Structure 1
Amino acid sequence: MPEHFRALIVILAVAGIVFTLARRSATDLIPYRDFTRRRNLWFALTLLAFVSQNFWVYAGIAAIALTVAGQRDRNPVGLFFLLLFLIPPASAQIPGFGLINYLFDLDHIRLLALCVLLPAFFTLIRQADTLPFGRTWPDRLLAASIALTSLLYLRETTVTDTLRQTFYLFIEVFLPYYVASRAIKKLSDFKDALLGYLLAAMVLSLIAAFEYTRHWLLYDALIDALGMQWEMSGYLSRGGSLRASATTGQAIVLGYVVSVAIGFFLFLHVYARSRLQRFLGALLLAAGLFAPLSRGPWVGAAVIITVFIATGRGAIKRLMLLALAGALALPMLAVLPAGEKVLDLLPFIGTLEKENITYRERLIDNSLIVIQRNPLLGSFDYRSTPEMQALVQGQGIIDIVNTYISLALKVGLIGLALFVAFFGTVLLSIRKSMRSFPDKDDEERRLGRALLATLAGILVIIFTVSSITVIPVVYWSVAGLGVAYAQMVSRLRHTQTAAASNASLQLR
């Protein structure tokens, strides 16, 4: 039996376990028919990808199925999140039919955005209650960032390719942000969307645990079966163990995806029917976070948990207990059979692959020299400078494992400032909106805590990795959820003020 068919059997079995265990809790949050339809679509598209033997066959049939599903689904963000990590986002070129070299590169994420998010975008802009784009500071900063990036493409490529790159920005940056920030309007919508992401991440987590224990990347053979090439795919190890990657292509990307899911789990876990379900969910995500053996996401997950606790009831006491638990865990690891290996993997403590930390330090030092030459708008040929060439690794590549450095090199300090200001305004709007709920156990406040913590964790993790594969789609979507949260709270305040005013008039 071909390897990708054997992998398919494992993937279907693993996903079946997750969906079965999560069904009862999930259907307490969303209608059963929505859960069933999305689950069945997940299985159908996975089967299609593995048996089609050709990416274009998969893309053609999937496009029809996704378009129909998007029209029927009441929450396009929930559907988008559940299917976001379905298969690896390896791309293929749509031919230009003699007019141009090619139209654009198509992958699973772009296909999903075009079939689910684009129709939702056109629906939202026609609705009277949709906040027009540009009314919020994040909107304006994002628009400025996209415009600047598009214009700067002209200095390094043709007009045709600049239009192509701008199209990518539209479907990979604008659409996830816009639909997430406008389609989510009620608390139930947030539960639906976050549940979709959490279910997808739990499937990935169990797949990652299998890959780690069996030393087998389940989706590696799928790329060959579809007749595609993808430089992101490949076996990597750390400390003699395979670093799982599932559909994300890179171990650190998988850790990032699971870290975000942990932030969402902090909000959703209280709706689980039993403590056992909550424990199993937490254990599964912990396994998914560990299996990639990526330290940046571990730090990010710690930030997420810390920020979530710090913004809740009894923060000081709980943070002290968390710190005590961490301090006690270290000596326990030292005496356990496999504890020494775990300690070697820990950031700031372990000694394994310290050269990666050294490389990151050199990257920052050398990049700062290059940035000083073109500080405002960066340069398109920064990789050819002597300082960057000194960073060429054994694979012949310069791995810019820092999103902020990458932005400063490509679009300068102006582009970096727009990026940081965008996320800063989203964080401030979430924090300000949380103050509308003095009761720290309130549902809406707990949602704000989870979004604030998750976004803070993301901003820490991307300091250790460039924006590859699914990373940017996730952080633009989460930022959109943050804007949607602020708008939801604003509407609640307006409704409460109007109700109080009406009550006052009636008393008079």
Structure 2
Amino acid sequence: MFSVIKSSIVIMVLTAAAMYLFASCVKPAWKPVGRASAKVTAFAFLGLSLGQIYVAFAALLVVAAGFIRNRAHAAGLIIFLIVTLPGIAFTAMAGSLQLVNISTESCVTLGALIAAFMWTKGKGTRYSLADVPAFAVMLVLAFISARDSSLTNVMRVTVQISLSLFLPYHIVKKSMNEADAVRSAVLFVVASALAISAVAIFESVKAWPMYQVFRNQFGIYGLANVKMRGGMLRAGGPLMNPPLSAALLALCFVTTFAARDLFKSPAKHRILLAIVAVGLFSVQSRTGWLGAVAGCMGVMLSRRGVTGMIAPVAALSLVFGGVYGLTLASERAANLLGFSVDAKNSSDYRDKLYDRGVELVRQHPAIGQPPSIVTAQMEDLRQGEGIIDFVNGYLGIALFSGLIGLALFAGGIVAQAFASYRARRVSRARGWGSLSDMGLGVAVCAGAMFPYIPTDGRVVLTMLLLFALSNAVASLPAVGRKNSARRPSAPPPRSTAEAVPAVA
């Protein structure tokens, strides 16, 4: 109990310090985002410090409902809590009957659902073609969980997917009824990146896995473990899993990169990006770096066009060459940057998993096989932790739902990227500035990471909520606070002829 309270207090202090820095970097109109983030963190972790898991989760639900009553901050607070809270879950049972898995994300969702009834009634939530990619992803995950099972399990999976994916997406979409709510949500994503980074840096420097005590407190002993690289702790982050926490941080990093117009100056924007980059370094996961770099390239592609990417790609090639040379020259650098023997062993496992997985997909290409059958056929790949780790998300989708499921899942991400790229000029014309480029960056970031991480619930949920944000940018006029952006970024000219005004 004492260790939980101690960790909670340290996380509160680190988050408060990060939010103080956040408030000094964003425009004055958005300082309340930092204050709200610090307050909700304090109350949420105080609730999780209570002894019994049912009491702690009930307290978290009340905290979420209390803060999300403010519709202007609702979407952002939902995302902030989902991203930053520790990954804790238990299975609700009725006798011997398994009902649903209740997690910290579920508590936030239920609290938000209660708060939504307190909002002033407005226009109903309308879905459009822009929501099809998100629904395609949900459909595939629901099919995998429900296939070849009883009617009771199908009903349970329907409730589970609704609670863990559809309801958060629906509430976030419903709450963003004006431009200020969208900008606020984007800045809450920035705040969550800063909060996770502050804790990750502290975890790595002090060699203190701070989130693990919450699982121990509730008697939930998962497969999370502590790993060192180059003499430094690999910060586990809120998911207590470096690759998955790095994926969350990468998505938030790309959103921060795209939100430059909401900061006081370019220098302030770069300061926050640098801190989040150090947070990514503390997690020591190549997956996070891959997603962050790919996502930022997507943002720049949306901003500059294809021809404007020549210089950034050349610079990136030089940086990668220098980093690779450094890993060859220094064993410590190789360990810190993910090229150690441990990382090589992980890469070998991925190769074996891929070869065996492709073989099984060829045997059942249409809709794949149920997870229980696949795991039985891949028993020789079971690791020391007692699991078969499907670290390739796309391969896992293909194994469990076939090429049809893979087409829906990957196609949803590609469709979101394509739609965001097409909508960027209209969004700029409406005054959204740099936020017009966020959608493509987020989709590219997520698409680049799933070959190296499983389709974890929180990572997928965060991706879908960021899809909802980018859809709101594409569909709403940027009418809101005065001076909420420095100056909308002008769309790049399509050709030299467009860049030069005609002379009569």
In which range does the TM-score fall when normalised by the shorter chain?
A: 0.7 to 0.9
2:443 to 455, 459, 464: 455
Structure 2 distance, partners of 1:490, 1:281, is 24
Match of residue 102, structure 2, among 106, 124, 148: 106
- Where does 1:217-228 land on structure 2 (aligned, <5 Å)? 217-225=209-217, 227-228=218-219
CA distance 1:49–1:384, change in 2 (3 Å): closer
* Alignment coverage as a number of residue pairs: 479
Contact 1:182–1:484 under 8 Å retained in 2: no
* Correspondence 1:414 to 2:404: yes
1:63 aligned to which of 61, 65, 79: 61
* Residue 316 (structure 1) shift: 5.1
Q: Does 1:39 align with 2:38?
A: yes
Distance 2:107 2:393 in 1: 25
Q: Distance in 1 between matches of 2:251 and 2:139?
A: 28
The answer on whether the counterparts of 2:66 and 2:115 sit within 8 Å (CA) in structure 1 is: no
Cα gap change, 1:21 to 1:155, in 2 (>3 Å): closer
Counterpart-to-counterpart distance in 1, 2:135 and 2:327? 53
Q: Where in structure 2 are the equivalents of 1:305-320 lying within 5 Å?
A: 305-313=296-304, 319-320=310-311
SS of the residue 2:99 aligns to = strand
Bigger mean CA deviation after superposition, 21-30 or 235-244:
21-30
Alignment equivalent of 1:467, drawn from 431, 455, 474: 455
Farther off after superposition, 60-69 or 396-405: 60-69
TM-score, structure 1 as length reference: 0.84
Q: Which residue, 217, 220, 242 being the options, matches 2:233?
A: 242
Q: 1:43-102: CA deviations, max 9, x gaps?
A: 11112212x122111112222232232223323211101212343222123342x4x624
1:503 corresponds to: none
Q: CA deviation at 1:298?
A: 0.8
Measured in 1, the distance between the counterparts of 2:137 and 2:311 equals 40
Q: 1:95-244, aligned counterparts within 5 Å?
A: 95-96=93-94, 98=95, 101-117=97-113, 120=116, 127-128=122-123, 130-131=125-126, 133=127, 135-136=128-129, 138-139=131-132, 142-143=134-135, 146=138, 150=142, 153-225=145-217, 227-244=218-235
The letter for the 1-side match of 2:393 is T
Q: Give the Å deviation of 1:152.
A: 5.9
Asked if 2 retains the 8 angstrom alpha-carbon contact of 1:92 and 1:228, the reply is no
Report the Cα distance in structure 2 between the residues aligned to 1:294 and 1:47, rounded to whole angstroms: 30
Segment drifting more, 290-299 vs 143-152: 143-152
**1:256 and 1:471 in contact (8 A); partners too:** yes
Match 1:402 to one of 380, 392, 404? 392
Question: What's the counterpart of residue 381 of structure 2?
Answer: 391
Distance 2:320 2:138 in 1: 45
Aligned CA RMSD, in angstroms, stands at 3.3
Return the alpha-carbon distance in structure 1 between the equivalents of residues 408 and 143 of structure 2: 15
Identity %: 19
Kindly provide the amino acid, as one letter, of the partner of residue 57 in structure 2. Answer: A
Match of 2:368 among 378, 384, 390: 378
1:195-246 Cα distance to aligned partner (Å, 9 max, x none) = 1121112111011111111111011122222x23141432123344321012
After superposition, the Cα gap between the structure-2 partners of 1:182 and 1:79, relative to the gap in structure 1 and judged at 3 Å, is same
User: Alpha-carbon deviation of 1:289?
Assistant: 0.7
- Tell me what 2:9 maps to: 9
The residue type paired with residue 424 of structure 1 is V
Matches of 1:82 and 1:234 in 2, distance apart?
25
User: What secondary structure, in the 3-state scheme, does the structure 2 residue paired with 1:103 have?
Assistant: strand
Change (3 A) 1:331 1:300: closer
One-letter amino acid of the structure 2 residue matched with residue 75 of structure 1: H
Which of residues 79, 82, 91 is equivalent to 1:81?
79
Give, in whole Å, the separation in 1 of the partners of 2:425 and 2:416: 15
Q: How far does residue 150 in structure 1 lie from its aligned partner after superposition?
A: 4.4
- Which residue in 1 is equivalent to 2:285? 294
Counterparts of 2:140 and 2:212, CA distance in 1: 37
Equivalent residue letter for 1:116: A
CA contact (8 A) 1:306 1:319 kept: no
Structure 2: unaligned runs, 5 residues or longer: 480-504
CA separation in 1, counterparts of 2:189 and 2:87? 17
Cα pair distance change 1:415/1:190, threshold 3 Å: same
1:475 positional shift? 1.3
Letter matched to residue 447 of structure 1: L
In 2, distance between residues paired with 1:21 and 1:144? 39
TM-score (norm. length: structure 2): 0.84
Mapped contact 2:19–2:38 kept (Cα < 8 A)? yes
* 8 Å CA contact 1:146, 1:169 repeated in 2: yes
User: Which shows bigger deviation, 58-67 or 316-325?
Assistant: 316-325
Q: CA separation in 2, counterparts of 1:168 and 1:288?
A: 32
Q: How big is the shift at 1:288?
A: 1.0
Residues 471 and 151 (structure 1 numbering): CA distance in 2 closer, same or farther, change over 3 Å? closer
CA distance in 2, matches of 1:147, 1:278: 38
Distance 1:405 1:331, change over 3 A: closer
Answer with 200-209 or 366-375: which moved more: 366-375
CA distance 1:305–1:120, shift in 2 (3 Å): same
Find out whether 1:259 has 2:250 as its counterpart.
Answer: yes
Q: Distance in 2 between matches of 1:335 and 1:224?
A: 39
Check whether the contact 1:267–1:450 (CA below 8 A) recurs between aligned residues: yes
Are the aligned partners of 1:402 and 1:465 in contact in 2 as well (CA < 8 Å)?
A: yes
Residue in 2 that maps onto 1:48: 47
For residues 447 and 143 of structure 1, what CA distance do their matches in structure 2 show?
23
